[in-house]
Amino acid sequence: MQKFYYTDGTNTFGPLSLEELKGKGLTGDTYVWTEGLPSWVAARQMPELAPLLNDTNQPYYSGATQVPPQFGSSLPPNFNVPNTGRPPRTYLVESILATLFCCLPLGIPAIVYASRVEGKFYRGDYSGAEADSANAKKWLFINLGLSVGLWILYFLIFGFAMFGAMLGDFS
C-alpha cells in the first residue's frame, strides 16, 4: 500500500494512506511526496490523489511561480540510501579499552560517539550512524596517538636521566 507525506508549509505529516488523506483537506497546490518520487510535487500532479483534492478551500500556495518549501530535518526518511542490514562499525570496545589503558579525557568522546551508532542506524538515520562511526574512529586514534606520544616522551626523559646518572661522577 502506497503511503504519502504532505506539508502545510511548516510541518510534514505522514506516512498516510489514501484513505487517511481524505479528511486532511488537500488542495491541488498542497505539496506531497511518496516513495519513488525524487522530490515534493503539487498534489494535482498525482492522478491517484485527484478524487481527494478539495479545491474549494484557499490553497496554501498559490501561483505557478511559487517555490516549494524548504523542509530541513523534517523530510521523510531517505529511501535512496542503501541499507546493507548491518550498522557501521561502532569502535565501542576499542574506545573503552583505549580509555581505560591510555588517556581518559580523550576516550570519553570516542565512547559517546560509538554508543550512538547502532541507535541511529536502527532508527533509519544511516548518514548519522556513518558520521558517528567516523567520529568514534577519529577520537579513538587521537586518544591512541597522544598516549603513544606521551609514553615515548616519558621513556626519553627518564632514559636520558638514567643515562646521565650512570655517566655522572659520584665522588
Please indicate, yes or no, if residue 85 is contained in any of the structural domains.
Answer: no
Domain boundary among the residues 30, 48, 74 is at 74
Q: What b/e string do you get for 135-146 counting C-beta neighbours within 10 Å, with b at 16 or more?
A: bbbebbebbbee
State whether 99 and 160 are in the same domain: yes
Residue 55 pLDDT level (bands cut at 50, 70, 90)? low
How many domains are there within the chain?
A: 2
Q: What is the pLDDT of residue 136?
A: 95
Q: Specify whether 68 is located in the same domain as 123.
A: no
Say if residue 98 is in the same domain as residue 161: yes
Looking at the fold, whether 58 and 15 belong to one and the same domain comes out as yes
Cβ atoms of 76 and 33 within 8 Å: the answer is: yes
Q: Are residues 68 and 130 in the same domain?
A: no
User: Confidence class of residue 69 from pLDDT cuts 50, 70 and 90?
Assistant: low
Task: Note whether residue 81 is domain-resident.
Answer: no
Q: Is residue 9 part of a domain?
A: yes
Q: Which residue range is the domain that position 34 belongs to?
A: 4-74
Residue 134 reports pLDDT greater than 80: yes
pTM of the complete model: 0.48
Are 99 and 68 in the same domain?
A: no
Alpha-carbon dihedral 35, 40, 44, 49, rounded to 10 degrees: 30
Decide if 108 is inside a domain: yes
For residue 10, tell me if it sits in a domain. Answer: yes
- Summarize pLDDT for 99-124 with one digit per residue, the tens: 898 877 888 999 999 999 998 888 88
